[in-house]
Chain A
Amino acid sequence: MYAYDEIDRTLVNERVSEFRDQVKRRLSGELTEDEFKILRLQNGVYLQLHAYMFRVAIPYGTLATNQLRALAHVARKYDRGYGHFTTRQNIQFNWIKLAELPDALEDLAKVGIHAMQTSGNNMRNVTSDQWAGVAPGEIEDPRIWSELIRQHTTLHPEFSFLPRKFKIAITASDHDRAAIKIHDIGLRLIKNEKGETGFEVLVGGGLGRTPFIAKTIKHFVHGRDILSYIEAILRVYNQYGRRDNIYKARIKILVHELGIEKFSREVEDEWRQIRNSSLEIDDEVIEDIRSRFTYPSYEKLPHMPDELRQAAADPDFEAWRKNSVAPHKVQGYSIVTISLKPTGGPPGDATAEQMDALADLADKYSFGEIRVGHEQNLALPHVAKRDLPALWKALDKLGLATPNVNLITDIIACPGLDYCSLANARSIPIAQELTRRFANHELANLIGRLHINISGCINACGHHHVGHIGILGVEKNGEEVYQITIGGRADENAALGTLIGPGVKFDEVADVVEDIVEAYLALRERPEELFMDTVKRLGVEPFKERVYATR
């Protein structure tokens, strides 16, 4: 856990009083809606189809239990009793009143959370691996660096009015759970031959209308230089990024138009002039940040406690354990993923009651810590294996033990036309229908790892390009039409999916997905060959044939 000190708390409080003044000036008419729009966006406030939507940052996906309780409180007091976890380690509330927003922010500020960096054309919430600090084999905890970058990018005086939004993600594991290759800047923490910490820096990834996988701009930037290197990238982008067309304003387009070689030369020129400046980070600064992350005092526990051995006889427990429980770097402990994808439910939603109860469970079983992942699930990062059966029972009572993590019903979806003013089509009802179609756990288990991603418009908040099966809702002649891609992925081997053919109607989407899955089951060489691997081996054609043969 990172603990804000007096300095961080002061800034958050100053931000709240500034926003209170801005809301007051808007309500009195002193500010026009056009002037106010950017100010509210920079505080996480969007105007959606039915109401204001309020997005709160959960930097690098780490939450303390008092923070989760504060989110539950906001859901209950200012909203309709639930919140929606997004694909970028944020939570959204969908029914908030403008006049009450400063109070909601003030309540959150008391526990050190805020809505800075959740919207606007500035540097967004820095995201990271939700298993940071506990994943076996991790090089070091990437959250130390995430926090350093979070501070540096908060209310940055030069880069708060960029051509477009700007997202940074960091991973320190071989397996990339932070989707760094679809970010404006992706940082892969590595060590050089001297054992010093640094980063492979990737740039220009992103989805939306023109998707790109990020390219490596520099193979190693020393940790002490990372702020100046990021600053150099941003300075080049701020000056040369396109501002004439919102769809061409992201850094990916600049990188594409200049080419990575020319772009990296520009950055290098700029960096040379600022790297030996006050942006250089000395070890003491890193140690200071590290010292404010607290780590649990783990007990010495057996690898296979009796409680776990006994519970293994219960097939329901085993079904849950097999896909929700992951190895921890400390023997006797596990990382538990909490599925927010119940059958028939909107992906990523949690009620205030669930949040409160989960906070209690985290206090009891996970040293008071909760994590939020880009897959729209939560995690308890430090659960003693002996506690797994008791935790499972408690989660099951709360409706939080759906045994589908990483399976076909663990769907990522944007809010879509049910909430969002940008959407062309519904996302949530598609996800709900798919969770019903594949509700049979044996079937889902037989299919194995398969990620479905759904976006209700080309802005791609549901990351459809990188879903194993991607579903994009568009509008055609006043009707919702869905384009289906297969073969995308968001991990270290990130790839964009390939369209399988013409779009299909709302009612046909679940049928098409079933056809694709049936084709996969018939085509795979052996049960261990995952959907992704079959698509890679055979290409799109056999799936396309299957889907369109009868349509």
Chain B
Amino acid sequence: MPLVNGGKIVDDSFVKLAVDTPLPERGDILVPAERFLGEAEGLLQRAGRVGVIWPNNRDIAELVPYLGRIAAVALVFPTFRDGRAYSQARLLRERYNYRGELRATGQVLRDQFVFMLRAGFDAFEVKKQADAEAFMQTARRYSVFYQPTGDGRITALHRRMQLRHSEGVGT
């Protein structure tokens, strides 16, 4: 499954661990939430970056004490119809100021990219190769956004206010 990060298809440096996979000596690891919470200190002290796979039905606030020390959070879309992780993503970015990698996993398809980018995701485990290759093109589909989110894109309301004020200067 191709990983898109920074708009490009990249190699995934993280290895996903299951609940019972032995811990590799080195390298970056993505750990399920339960395992992470159970052995956080040990995991964080080993060499290599640590990311957490967080299920979409668990309160993201539980992760807050660790946000400064983890390198990635992977949120889950069990199907693309289940949108809980969009709320988790916005909370991580906008309420808890998480600045590390925020990865979308699960059924991640082309037509969700814009929503995901707006919610704060910056890494995508894309289900289909063709969708991953079309990432940049798809991300540019929209130039107008009605809602303010943490991604900083200017909203239609604010653009109108700017237009009004700049028109006001001329008259």
Contact = CB atoms under 8 A, between A and B. Distances in A.
A156 B149 CA distance: 10
Given A152-B146, A158-B149, A7 B159 contact: yes
A157 B146 CA distance: 10
B159 to A, nearest CB: 6
B84 interface: yes
Is chain A's interface secondary structure helix, strand, loop, or mixed overall? helix
Contacts of A157: 86, 90, 114-116, 118-119, 147, 149
A38 B147 contact: no
B26 interface: no
Contacts of B130: 30
Contacts of B156: 7-8, 11, 151
Given A38-B80, A151-B157, A278-B155, 18 more contacts: A8-B144, A10-B144, A11-B142, A17-B141, A18-B111, A22-B111, A151-B156, A157-B116, A157-B147, A158-B83, A158-B90, A159-B86, A235-B87, A243-B84, A285-B157, A285-B160, A285-B161, A288-B160
Interface in B36-93: 80-84, 86-87, 90
A155 interface: yes
B95 interface: yes
B146 A151 contact: yes
A38 B109 CA distance: 12
Given A8-B156, A288-B160, A156 B84 contact: no
A5 interface: yes
Contacts of B149: 157-158
B142 A238 contact: no
B20 to A, nearest CB: 27
Nearest to A121: B81
A151 B155 CA distance: 10
A14 B141 contact: yes
B143 interface: yes
Contacts of B164: 284, 288
B148 A279 contact: yes
Interface residues of B, number: 32
Is chain B's interface secondary structure helix, strand, loop, or mixed overall? helix
Contacts of A160: 83, 86, 115
B115 to A, nearest CB: 5
Nearest to A5: B160
Interface string B118-149: 11000000000010000000000111101111
8 contacts: A5-B160, A157-B149, A159-B83, A160-B86, A161-B115, A238-B83, A238-B86, A239-B87
Interface string A146-186: 00000110111111111000000000000000000000000
Contact of A288 (B111, B114, B161): B161
Closest 4 CB pairs of A and B: A161-B83, A157-B118, A278-B148, A11-B144
Contacts of A18: 111, 141-142
A403 B95 CA distance: 57
Contacts of A1: none
A162 B86 CA distance: 10
Contact of B144 (A14, A22, A121, A288): A14
A155 B87 contact: no
Contacts of A284: 161, 164
B83 A35 contact: no
Interface string A271-288: 001000111000011001
B157 to A, nearest CB: 5
